[in-house]
């Protein structure tokens, strides 16, 4: 059986649509997985129109569909699902606001997350199902559960699919899955609470963040070096060597980036650090750049 081959540049469209100096969305990377424990994420997205973004992991990216009315657990209800560009795996942790004027500008909530698997077959069968436009999968989300189908409609440009619930123990006649849950599965926040966190002069914050990035261009994390003598003099300072992630942090109000030496933004992975740096920048009333190590320490 011939199988569809993974796209060699799956994130090219995603990256072209975004200005990563203005948005906290991750630039992302691609890495082929083993096909086990494929991730499923649904993000509630209040952009030009409120909708839900369904994302299914395949070949190191999240295949994505915009579902205007959200998933329905009533098998009699067929939801329109518009196929959009592949998103990076790192997007699975993104919750916050995309600045107005940027692509997809608005509030994003992590509405559901978990894993999924094909009803039958393996990873190659999933690729074939995607290329043929008929995907049957079992969702193991916190809210989206049981068997579902994504079926491409044979009209237009081929981006229109239908999301359909199969009849099983999780099906509900007249079910209101999309409207019954209104809080984030990760932070417990409502859409209004997520939007309010970045509501204080977001345009000024983003402009300051861009200026700070431009001024600090070329800054690299300070890394450990092997030495034989301890330098003397008051101009030297020392820190313990921890085994963590070396980060250059840029903060300008609500705009925060945590960049690794490979220029990968870890902000979505460490929301508590983002909040702390945002608060510090606001307290100082100016942008800041910090070089440090993110480590996990036991109490």
Residues taking part in catalysis: 241
Q: Are 253 and 282 in contact (CB under 8 A)?
A: yes
Q: Which residue's entry shows tokens 């096909």?
A: 35
- The separation between CA 102 and the C-alpha centre of its own chain, rounded to angstroms, equals 16
Residues β-bridged to residue 246 = 293
Q: Are 131 and 165 in contact (CB under 8 A)?
A: no
Q: Rounded to an integer, what distance in angstroms lies between the CA atom of residue 54 and that of residue 65?
A: 5
SS (H, E, C) the chain: CCCCCCCCCCCHHHHHCCCCCCCCCCCCCCCCCCCCCEEEEEEEEECCCEEEEEEEEECCEEEEEEECCCCCCCCCCEEEEEEEEEEEHHHHHCCEEECCCCCCCEEEEEEEEEEEEECCCCHHHHHHHHHHCEEEEEEEECCCEEEEEEEECCCCCCCEEEEEECCCCCCCCCCCHHHHCCCCCCCCCCHHHHHHHCCCCHHHHHHHHHHHHHHCCCCCCCCCCCCCCCCCCCCCCCCCCCCCEEEEEEEECCEEEEECCCCCECHHHCHHHHHHHHHHHHHHCCCEEEEEEECCCCC
Residues β-bridged to residue 150 = 135, 163
């Amino acid at each position: 059986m011939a199988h569809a081959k993974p796209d060699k540049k799956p994130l090219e469209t995603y990256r072209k649509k975004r200005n990563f100096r203005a948005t906290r969305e991750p630039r992302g990377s691609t890495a082929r997985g083993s096909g086990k424990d494929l991730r499923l994420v649904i993000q509630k997205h209040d952009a030009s129109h409120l909708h839900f973004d369904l994302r299914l992991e395949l070949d190191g990216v999240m295949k994505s569909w915009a579902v205007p009315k959200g998933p329905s657990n009533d098998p009699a209800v067929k939801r329109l699902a518009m196929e959009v560009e592949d998103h990076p795996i790192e997007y699975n942790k993104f919750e916050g606001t995309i600045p107005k004027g940027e692509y997809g500008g608005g509030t994003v909530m992590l509405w559901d997350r978990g894993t999924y698997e094909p009803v039958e077959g393996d990873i190659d069968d999933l690729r074939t199902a995607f290329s043929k436009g008929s995907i049957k999968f079992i969702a193991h989300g916190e809210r989206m559960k049981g068997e579902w189908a994504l079926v491409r409609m044979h009209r237009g440009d081929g981006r229109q699919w239908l999301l359909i619930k199969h009849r099983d123990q999780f099906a509900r006649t007249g079910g209101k899955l999309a409207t019954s849950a209104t809080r984030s599965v990760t932070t417990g926040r409502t859409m209004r609470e997520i939007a309010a966190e970045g509501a204080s002069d977001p345009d000024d914050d983003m402009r300051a963040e861009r200026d700070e990035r431009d001024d600090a261009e070329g800054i690299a994390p300070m890394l450990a070096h092997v030495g034989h003598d301890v330098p003397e003099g008051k101009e030297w300072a020392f820190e313990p060597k921890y085994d963590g992630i070396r980060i250059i942090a840029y903060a300008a109000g609500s705009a925060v980036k945590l960049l690794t030496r490979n220029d990968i933004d870890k902000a979505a992975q460490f929301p508590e650090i983002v909040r702390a740096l945002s608060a510090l920048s606001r307290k100082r009333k100016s942008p800041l750049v910090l070089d440090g190590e993110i480590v996990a320490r036991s109490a």
